[in-house]
Every structure is written in structure tokens, then in C-alpha cells.
Structure 1
Amino acid sequence: MTGGERTTGPAGTAYHLRPPSGWLNDPNGMVFHQGRWHVFYQHNPQAARHDRIAWGHASSEDLVRWEHHPVAFGPTEGGPDAFGCWSGVLLPTPGGAVALYTGVVDESQVSTVCLRRGDEELVRWSGPRVVAAQPGPPVRVTRDPFVWQHAGRRWALLGAGLADGTPAVLLYDAEDLADWRYADVWLRGDRADLAAAGPADVWECPQLVLLDGGTGEASLVLSLHDRGRLTQVVGVGGHVVDDDGTPRFEPSGVAVLDVGTSFYAPQVAADPDPGAWLLGWVREEDRHLDGPADGPADGPDHAGCLTLPRRVVPDDHGAHAGAVRLVLDPRVAAGLPLGPPEEVTAHQELDRPLRVEALAEGARLTHAELPEVPLAAGDLVLVDADVLEVYPAQGPPTTHRHPRPWALTVRPGRAGPAGQVVEVRAVDVSRLRPPTTPADRQVRGAPPR
């Protein structure tokens, strides 16, 4: 299943990945492994609230149909992650998979980087081992490790906030995965050339996308945490340069990667296709990270979902080196099962799973509380319950999640009948169940039915 089968209260998403119940936030541990795309994610399987976070797990053979696996691992009583197994990455190694993540020991949220070793099926995991501690002043908080190679050596980035309220990214030497060495503050948010990134006191979930190994052109993806508020996601373009064996980053410009209200904490990973694949968290504005343990009786038993898979591609119209944009993954665009074209009216609510493609100028999306979204030829709109994603032919995508539905308004006559301005098709969610057998599920770690 993709969206999940059991919900209460308002309908859940049907083709965006989420667990059947419980809380979901950041995607973690994304990897292409043994012919399947795997994603782990921040998950509370017990309640639809941010508490005692574990790593959920799902995988897909086509990026469209997702299969849920058992929870990979969760907080260890008395351990370095007793308060939560927060965001991180997964590395395939000759000795098996390695998960590296933020371990939080108590409500103070002082963190370490924890390591767990997994089996070939990514199902069974060791207990946690601390491999990096939080450095002293001026660093106030760290989280969300990212690991990559530079000049034949393994390095890691951590999102951080400094004592004076400045966001930052820290650099670690992670050549020995079991014993990281703190190197330096890699990038600070108080640089004049980064003012366009917007206000933040912590840069979360740093992700480095290398665009050209020969020139070092790269984009540093950052999620902006601003004094308790989760705001936007930006790409800082520039170059990774070598400083006597140590990587340094020279920024050249900043761009917002999604112009909606609900996109946050994306993760990127390599796979066989060009570029990098990406998933982000689709937040629910009325669901709080520190909400009550028990929601209203008629409320949903789930919170949060992931975006549809996207790809990070160079932005040919970008104004600076390392500029990137996010596009819908072609496998999803081609593989999402659709019904036949439907009759289009001048005004209709988008209140069910739909795909809308703009064929000409003259259509727009309207909402009672959110800004209007005009559509141009080639723009693609995907609607799933209260989630709306817009993928324009040019420019950044838009992600919104709101309980009130959007409406499609078409001006007939601009390019002929309304049906010539847009094409509307239902997403056939009945065809989204993954084609697996009970034996397959046992091999991949899910209990047989």
C-alpha cells in the first residue's frame, strides 16, 4: 500500500507515502539497494504526534507503489537515543548497511551522532554506538548528519545553530565511521552573500548535491528553522574547493527550492538515474511537533506524508553557479495510474485524487486561504486529499497541505473550449498496491498476511 489502509476522521492521502497510522516527518536513510528504492523516515508508530521517534521503513521497485516494512529501530532505554532516533543517512559498506543519525538522550535535546549496523535486507539492526559528540562553544545545537566523499576521503556535515543565534553547517572528518573528528564550522549564516536565505537560528538537514565532479560545482540544500518555526528550503549554489585535502564551500547564490507552505526537510540520494532522487516532508500546519498525546476522538490517527519522488537537476535558468531545481521524477510522471480524460468545467473543486495538466494559458488554482496559483502550458498539478503539488514547466515546485480543497478555474475561449486548456484525469488508486507475494514480504521483513 502507498497511503495506508487504516484512518479515522478526515480521509488520508491515497498515493503519497505515509505509514498506515502514527506520526511521520523527515525522510531518512534514502538508498537504492538490491534493485529497490528504500526510504526510512521519522516515525512515531504509537500516536500521531512527535514523540519517541523511531525510523519507519518503506521500499519501492518503481517509485510509485510503496511497500511498508516493520519499524527499523527506535529509542534505546538508557541509551544515547533514549529520547529519539532523529534524522540521518544510510551508507552501504562492505560489511553491511550503516545508519548514521542524531541520537537525543533526553528533553534537553543535547545530541550525538549514533551508528547502527544493519543486515543485507535492511531489516535487522544493531544497538546504537556514539561516533561523534557535539562540540563545545560557540556551537549550541547540532543535528542531521550527511556523509559524502571528497578527494578520496569520507567527510560529514551536520546542521547546527551557534550560541549567538547564527545558523551554521559543521564539518567532520568521518573517514573512520566509528570515530568522527570535528574539523570546523563549514558555513555560517551571517555572511552577507547568504542574506537571501532568509532568517534562521538553525540550519537543518544539510544535503550536498555535487553537480560536476570535475569543477566542484554543487548545491547545499538547507532547511530553515527559525526560533521554533519551520520555514523554507533553500539551495545554496557554489563550489566545493580543496584546501590541502579539506573540502571548503564557496557560495555563489541562493534560491528557494519550493514556494509552497508545507515542504520541509528533504533528503537526496544517488540512484541509477541521472541526478539525485529527493523526497521531502509534507507538513500539516495544524499538527504541532509538541502536540497533546491524545488528539480529538474524531481526528486522524496519522500525521504527515512525503512528497512524490523528485529529482534534483541543474537549473539552466539559474542566476548563479550550482543553481538547481526540483522536478517530478520521470518514473512517477510516467507510472502513476490514471483514468481517462474527464469533462472540464469552468470551475470545479479538486476534492479527490487527480492529475491536472495545463495545455495552454487560461487556468488557475484558487483557494479560500492560500494565494492563487496561475498555470502555464506544461504545468502539472497533482492532488491527493489535502495535499497539492504543482510542478511548473519552469521554476520551483509548490507544495501545500490544507484541509480546505483547491478549485480549478478555466477561462473558456482563451484557447478554445475549457477542455483544450487543461486535461484532468483521476489517479486510479486501486492500481497502486505493490505487486508482491507473501514470500516476498517475508524476505523484505514485512509480516505475512
Structure 2
Amino acid sequence: MTNHQTRLEQAQKAVQKASEKVQNTPYRLGYHIMAPAHWINDPNGLIQWAGEYHVFYQHHPYSPKGGPIHWGHVKSKDLVFWEHMPIALAPGEDYDRSGCFSGSAVDNNGKLTLIYTGHVNLDVEKDEFVEYQCLAESSDGVHFKKHPSNPIISEPPKDGSPHFRDPKVWKRNDKWYMVLGNQVNNLGNVVLYESKDLIDWEYQGVIAKSTGKMGYMFECPDFFELNGKHILLFSPQGMELEGDLYQSLYQNGYYVGGFNYETKEFNHGDFVELDKGFDFYAGQTFLDDKGRRIVIGWMSMWESVMPEQEHGWAGAMTIPRELKLNENNHLVMMPVEELKILRGEHLTLSATVISENIRLDHIKGECLEIVTEYSLKGCTAQKFGINIRCSEDCTEKTMIYYDTHSGKVTVDRNQSGKGEGGIRRSEIHGQDHESIKLHLFIDRSSLELFVNGGETVITSRIYPNPSSVYVELFAEEGEVQLLNLDSWKLADIWK
């Protein structure tokens, strides 16, 4: 068996060689975190350490269609310009030989410490496997050594199953805590552990569980405090479609409640989806030195068509978003302030009445930020909005609009180009608003829509032709007052 360092070097050479072929391919993103090449999924180990932001990610360096999972790594000084770092973890030990699955990062006495799930396949055809919790450390934030005590948790709770993964670890006072996703009787659970040293862990019980409606597995749990409330962010699998809700294959959302560290009880309200789009999964958060709770998600979805795979890569992360809790105990997400660094040429459109399709010939491009606000007072249009990544004849486009009758905002990608079509709708809270604001981040193969200060967010991968760069405003069956529109061309951080 090769040692860890050798496997890391082999993986690094493979992905570097593959990266030469993905440059300048049509869907390569301009300002999002991606692997240099090949497969990427869940964000892992989000942390601000030694003055820099670190994001690790599930990565297969040998293929754009997945395989034994490694941990890729990027870092940044400003959450905007990211630098690819050497691969941090490679599978191959007895406790992680089939993959280094998702986890988290902490600062332990100056050491950047990764806690992850080691996955070991026993019989692939029968889907038999075991999962262990493991630890790796680094003094320089670049080179990681797996701990000699691995695995630090060698089996699930007595009533649990082998589905036992995705540790999120944090420190409170002098104790470390860990939440993990688990499955009991084909129902999702989040379990809690406690430790004094990150090595020896004691099981503390279940803090959240599915009663059936919430599906058969809870992945990627994240437990944190915000505005005096405790929030469990997690990714349930197996939820049934419910109107406009739970449309994706798997979900990502949260409970808000109160947690008692003495009794280990978490009392919470109903599940709320965090992002209403096609492509947001496994969201993870961290606290930075400005006191912000920042979240990043995987900007893709399991089993979805990924046209970029034919170009040698797959998957990306969302832009970093700041999380806040509003007066209704709902999480709102807004792009971090630092993203304004990307802004280049600024173009505007002054107040005007929209009653038909209007091409904005002075605003076009593949990487844009657009902020547009419409008045709801005196609006007679049945629906209004903005079409982006339009072709010259507008047969290709992604539609974003508000329906005044239903009070819902919609992203329609049925004419968006390659890949899957589909529609995502979400009701806008607070119908007493006098206006509606649509804030769009457009990259070559993605759209992130923030509505009314991030109360509703819809994330979607789209795959238009590179020549589809036009933007148009529209209103149907009436008119609407456009209050203002601001647009910026955004820099390509990878060039």
C-alpha cells in the first residue's frame, strides 16, 4: 500500500495535467470555486485560519464523474480571489480506503485540524460499507497528516446504521462537540458527541430525527448559534414533493430552536428550505473574525445532467453568502460584501414603465451582477421580470419573473440551453411590500437570484451558448414601473 504522501502527489499530478484541457471551455465559471479539473461536490472544512479563508471540498482528481473521494483545497484572503492549494487528503488507509468523505475544520491550539468520515466499501454490489470518523492535522495549513489515533470514532451508536457521516465540530468553553448524520430504521437522524481533546468522544444522544416525512437520511449537519437561537442546517434525503417545496432530488434546509447543553435537548420548529433552486446542497457555515456566519453550498445536485463533464470537469461552489435570522425566525442569505471587488463597468437604466419585451443592448455578458427593483403600486401586469443569457433571437434564455396573482417568483430554465430544464417557484413573504427587488449573480453556467434582501434565494446551473449574452426586461398583460436597474460586469478571478 502506498503511503499518504505518495497518493497525494499522484492525485495532484493527475488533476494538474487534466486542468490544462479544461481552460477556456464554454461553461467554466468566472468567479466561483471549482476544482482545477474533474469532479467536485460537498464543501468541507470551511474556516478562517491564520488570517485566511479556507474551503476544502469533496474531490475526485482522476475523473469528472466521481470516484474515490479526496479533499481538494482552496484559500483566499478576501472571499473573492481564490488560490488552488495542493490536495489535502487522499484515501487509502484501512479506515478510509474507499473515500475521505465530508467533514469540518477547527483550529486546535494553532493546528488546522480536519475531521472527516472515512468510507470503506465491503461489498459494492450489496451496498455494504462501514464509516469511521477520522482526524488529520496541519501546522502550515497546506500539508496534512492523518492522526495515529484514527479512527477517532470507530462505530455508530448502538441503534444506528453504517450510514454515519459528515462530522461538524465546534468548541464551547473547554469542550468539543460534534454532530453527525445517521440513519436509524431507515429514518434520518442527527446525533451528538462530546470530547475534551478531539480524540476520545462520548455519545450524547439524538438531537433531531425524522418521523417519516423528513426522509431516510440526514446528511451534512451543521449546528450553530445565531441571534440567540440555535440552528440545525442539514441535508435530508428522501423527502416527498409538496407543491413548490422539495422539488430537488435531495434538500438542504434548517430547524430554528433552542438547545440546552446540560440536557442535550434541541427543541425546534418546522423544517424550512434554505435555497429554493435546482442546485444547492450540503451547505456548510463558518464564523469569521467580523462576526459573520457565512455559508457556501455545492452548486449542483446528485443525478443531474452536468454538460461540463464532457469538457473534463463537474460541479462548483456557490458564492459565499452571509446568513442572518430575520424577525420571522427565517434565515436570509445575501452575497458577502467583498464580492463588490469583482465589479467592473457600471451601467444603469433609469425609471421606466415596462409593458412589453425590452432588449437592453448596452447591458450584456456572461459574467454579470444585476440589481433591479420594480414598484408593486399600480402594477397591472400579470407577470414581469428579466430574461438573461438571451440569444440574438431570444429562443434561448433563462426567465426570472414575479407573478402578481400568485405572489410567487419563478426561475424558468426550460429554454436555458444544454442540461436539464425545469421551473422553481417560491412564494415571496410579506405581500405588503411596495416593491420587489431582484439581485442576480450571473456566471457562465450559473445563476444565483436573491429576492428582497435574500429572503428568497434560488440557485441554478444553466448551460447557454457562449454567444447568448443579452438581457431583456418584460411585462405581460399589463405594465409595471421599473424603479431602477444597476448592472456591473464582473471580473474573472481565474484569469
- Scaled to the shorter chain, the TM-score interval is 0.7 to 0.9
Q: Aligned letter for 1:272?
A: D
1:339 aligns with 2:345: yes
1:335 alignment partner, SS class:
helix
Of 410, 414, 420, the residue aligned with 2:473 is 410
Of 253, 271, 279, the residue aligned with 2:296 is 279
Asked if the contact 2:49–2:112 (Cα under 8 Å) also holds between the matched residues in 1, the reply is: no
Of 94, 102, 120, the residue aligned with 2:117 is 102
Alignment RMSD: 3.1
Asked if the contact 1:150–1:247 (Cα under 8 Å) also holds between the matched residues in 2, the reply is: no
Of 424, 427, 432, the residue aligned with 2:487 is 424
**CA distance in structure 1 between the aligned counterparts of 2:199 and 2:450, rounded to whole angstroms:** 41
1:358 aligns with 2:368: no
- Name the structure 1 match of 2:276: 259
1:316 aligns with 2:327: yes
Q: Deviations over 1:50-105 (max 9, x none)?
A: 211111010111111100011012102x4211000010111111162221100012
Instruction: State the shift of 1:340 in Å.
Output: 3.0
1:304 aligns with 2:310: no
Asked if the contact 1:230–1:264 (Cα under 8 Å) also holds between the matched residues in 2, the reply is: no
**CA distance in structure 1 between the aligned counterparts of 2:55 and 2:271, rounded to whole angstroms:** 28
Q: Deviations over 1:25-48 (max 9, x none)?
A: 111111111211111110111111
- Name the structure 2 match of 1:205: 220
Q: Deviations over 1:274-307 (max 9, x none)?
A: 331111101156657xx9xxx99x8121100000
Taking the TM superposition and a 5 Å limit, the aligned residue runs for 1:113-152 are: 113-126=133-146, 129-140=150-161, 141-150=163-172, 152=174
**CA distance in structure 2 between the aligned counterparts of 1:373 and 1:385, rounded to whole angstroms:** 22
- Name the structure 2 match of 1:397: 457
2:374 alignment partner, SS class:
coil
Q: Deviations over 1:84-133 (max 9, x none)?
A: 00101111111622211000122433101011121233333235610002
Instruction: State the shift of 1:189 in Å.
Output: 1.3
Q: Which moved more, 1:167-176 or 1:147-156?
A: 147-156
Asked if the contact 1:391–1:398 (Cα under 8 Å) also holds between the matched residues in 2, the reply is: yes
1:220 aligns with 2:232: yes
Change (3 A) 1:67 1:172: same
Of 325, 332, 342, the residue aligned with 1:325 is 332
- Number of positions where the alignment pairs a residue of Structure 1 with one of Structure 2: 402
**Structure 2 residue runs without a partner (length 5+):** 1-18, 241-247, 351-356, 376-383, 388-398, 400-412, 415-420, 429-434
Q: Deviations over 1:323-349 (max 9, x none)?
A: 3222211122x2223223178971479
Task: Say which one has the larger Rg.
Answer: 2
- Name the structure 1 match of 2:260: 241
Asked if the contact 1:287–1:303 (Cα under 8 Å) also holds between the matched residues in 2, the reply is: no
Q: Deviations over 1:201-258 (max 9, x none)?
A: 111111112024xx5x211101122299842211100001133xx4321112332110
Asked if the contact 2:85–2:142 (Cα under 8 Å) also holds between the matched residues in 1, the reply is: no
- Name the structure 1 match of 2:444: 385
- Tell me the TM-score normalized by structure 2: 0.74
- Tell me the TM-score normalized by structure 1: 0.81
- Name the structure 2 match of 1:21: 37
Q: Which moved more, 1:397-406 or 1:55-64?
A: 397-406
- Name the structure 2 match of 1:65: 81
Q: Aligned letter for 1:64?
A: V
Asked if the contact 1:219–1:324 (Cα under 8 Å) also holds between the matched residues in 2, the reply is: no
Asked if the contact 1:389–1:398 (Cα under 8 Å) also holds between the matched residues in 2, the reply is: yes
Of 170, 186, 203, the residue aligned with 1:182 is 203
